[in-house]
Structure 1
Amino acid sequence: MVQVQERSAPRRGSGTGRRTAWGLAAAAVLCQVPYPLVSGPGRDVLTVVGVVVFCLASVAAAALRHGVRGPLALFAVAGLGGLVVEAVGVRTGFPFGAYHYTGSLGPSVAGVPVVVPLAWVMMAWPALEAARVLAGSRERGGTPAARVRTALVGGWALASWDVFLDPQMVDAGHWIWSDPRPALPGVEGVPLTNFAGWVAVSVVMVAAVDLASGHPVRRSAGNGAPGGPAVLLYLWAYASSMTACLVFFGRPQVALAGGVLMGLVAVPLAVRVAGAAGGRG
């Protein structure tokens, strides 16, 4: 009788974890839907709230996949690591280029708004899970070759998101670049050094989170979907960012550049997810 109870308890916990992760993912989407429709201080508040809820959704997805070790790895590497690299960046200009925050994003630590390392946390996990799906490292532990593929694909998945993010935040006045040239074609206002720095930092960050999170406690991260809610959040970030730049923000060239660069991960990922859904059907 005791053995039956021990076997059933994880199933109850697993069900709660899935509901929490999917519920927070839905809340993250709902927080971001009105973002292009508001302006001024209301948009600043919505920016912070959206990042916090999205971050919680990523943490819940990490816990669903790896237990407590997932969130710990995510905060230690992406959270603290993101804070350190941003603090170094605003003081030295390395590795992104010379920039400074304007104070519109709320309280700061070491010259970096608290919400910024939370943004690293919020997208690092979806980028990692997207890479695991595409790189074939969803199995327990993964091979060394699969981990390298995951780091490279995941690093690109995370860095290419910034092609959308940075122009929006610069246009909103949250940070300012000292010299925004040269820039990626179509992404005026953000220096090319920023994207190069993001690629380098993101590859290392994704590799470290992947390694530090350890073995998954379950292969499927929720309801049998490849990567679970984290992957769908990644696809949402891609589709919503491209739509916002194209329709609401008047930045069609950013929509094109981000659509192509982030699409190198998002499009095959969407095909993989759709194929898995069709296979189950």
Structure 2
Amino acid sequence: MQKDRPLWALLGALVLVQICYPLTRGEVRAGLTVATVVLGYVLSVAHAWRCRGARAALALVATATLGGFAIEALGVATGFPFGTYDYSGQLGPKVLGVPLIIPLAWTWMAWPAWLAALRLARSRPARIALAAAGLAAWDLFLDPQMVAEGYWSWDSPTPALPGVPGVPIGNYLGWLGFALLLMTVLAAATGPAGHRRDGGDGPMMVLWLWTYASSVLAHAVFLGLPWSALWGGVLMGAVVLPLIPAARRGA
């Protein structure tokens, strides 16, 4: 639809930036990381506003952006719930030790994770669990990639998943715990509109599938991270791949 064109244009720009990412190095790559997150954030919030209304968009910002910043600030200050870690200065300005783009990243991916869960589950508890699992599984790609780039690091990155050094297993458990809390609050705060399937969700579903497929490809082929490609490919795939037949049934 014509009114969806700005959303598709944002998605196209995001995909283009991500394609350029593995072809660059150093400050250029860091800049592309920031650009990707900003584009993704604008896309998700704009979609929430257009397709679910102001309440849903504000709920997304309150839970994922503000909540994401709060949990990251707590994590940097105390080591809970992700372990003791620090951010480098490569991702832009920081507040309370947290780069400002980090809570934007939570928001960017929380929204498509929730919308995908709407298509795969019928009850609210099942949707919350599925959306949280999808968001947490995305971190199986995110953290190994960002640690490899030196954007953040843990003081004690053990025990770690086989083949994925530098990221403690406790971090993934922290992601799952916060994702469950985030999705529980988001499900309540968005109201009835937040639980409605919408024909305009196409850009978000493509974003969710693209994020999964491109992450597997990039880690396996371009970034030299085959084990995170395997872990993320299997565990995030368990949540994402059922969306394909579900989308076909919906069509």
1:63-112 per-position Cα deviation (integer Å, ceiling 9, x unaligned):
12211112111110000000000000001100010100011100111210
Is 1:191 the equivalent of 2:171? no
Partners of 1:133 and 1:208 in 2: CA distance: 19
| Cα 1:125/1:50, change in 2 over 3 Å | same
**Whole-angstrom CA distance in 2 between matches of 1:217 and 1:202:** 17
Name the SS for the 1:33 alignment partner.
helix
Task: State the alpha-carbon separation in 2 of the partners of residues 45 and 99 from structure 1.
Answer: 22
Rounded Cα–Cα distance in structure 2 between residues aligned with 1:116 and 1:36:
20
Amino acid in structure 1 at the alignment position of 2:227? Q
- 2:193 is the alignment partner of 1:216: yes
Q: Is the 8 A contact 2:56 2:194 kept in 1?
A: no
Partner of 1:203: 180
Preserved CA contact (<8 Å) 1:66 1:218: no
Cα distance in structure 1, aligned partners of 2:176 and 2:188: 18
> Structure 1 CA distance, aligned partners of 2:181 and 2:51?
21
Q: What residue identity is the alignment partner of 1:210?
A: A
Answer yes or no: is the 8 Å Cα contact 1:95–1:197 preserved in 2: yes
Structure 1 contact 126–230 (Cα < 8 Å) conserved: yes
Q: Are 2:187 and 2:195, in contact at CA under 8 Å, matched by a contact in 1?
A: no
Aligned AA for 2:228?
A: V
* Alpha-carbon separation, structure 1, partners of 2:195 and 2:71: 32
**Structure index of larger Rg:** 1
Contact 2:131 2:183 in 1 (8 A): yes
Which of residues 67, 76, 90 is equivalent to 1:90?
A: 76
Aligned to 2:159: 182
**SS of residue in 1 equivalent to 2:242:** helix
Q: In the alignment, what sits opposite 1:104?
A: 90
Q: Is the 8 A contact 1:150 1:207 kept in 2?
A: no
Provide, for residues 236-265 of structure 1, a one-character-per-residue CA deviation record: whole Å limited to 9, x for no partner. 110011000000011111101000010011
Moved over 4 A (4+): 217-220
Letter in 2 for 1:161: W
Q: 2: CA distance between counterparts of 1:176 and 1:218?
A: 37
Contact 1:65–1:217 (Cα < 8 Å) also in 2 = no
Q: Which of 122, 125, 129 pairs up with 1:152?
A: 129
Partners of 2:118 and 2:196 within 8 A in 1: no
Q: Where do residues 103-142 of structure 1 align in structure 2 (5 Å cutoff)?
A: 103-136=89-122
CA distance in 2, matches of 1:259, 1:108: 31
SS state of the match for residue 81, structure 2?
Answer: coil
The secondary structure found in structure 1 opposite 2:86 is: strand
Aligned to 1:23: 9
Query: TM-score, normalization: structure 2?
Result: 0.95
User: For structure 2, which runs of at least 5 residues remain unmatched after alignment?
Assistant: none
Instruction: Specify the code of the residue in structure 1 equivalent to 2:190.
Output: S
| Counterpart AA for 1:128 | W
Relative to 1, partners in 2 of residues 1:222 and 1:250: Cα closer, same or farther, differing over 3 Å?
A: same
Residue 41 of structure 1 is matched in structure 2 by: 27
The DSSP-based 3-state class of the residue aligned with 2:92 is coil
Match of 2:218 in 1: 244
**In 2, are the aligned partners of 1:66 and 1:215 still within 8 Å (CA)?**
no
Which residue does 1:264 correspond to in 2? Answer: 238
Q: Could you tell me the percent identity over the aligned residues?
A: 49
Structure 2 CA distance for partners of 1:249 and 1:202, relative to 1, 3 Å: same
Normalised by the length of structure 1, the TM-score is 0.85
Q: CA RMSD in A?
A: 1.6
- For structure 1, the 5+ residue unaligned runs are 1-13, 137-145
Secondary structure of the residue aligned to 1:196 is: helix
Offset of residue 221 of structure 1: 3.2
One-letter amino acid of the counterpart of residue 73, structure 2: A
Letter in 2 for 1:243: L
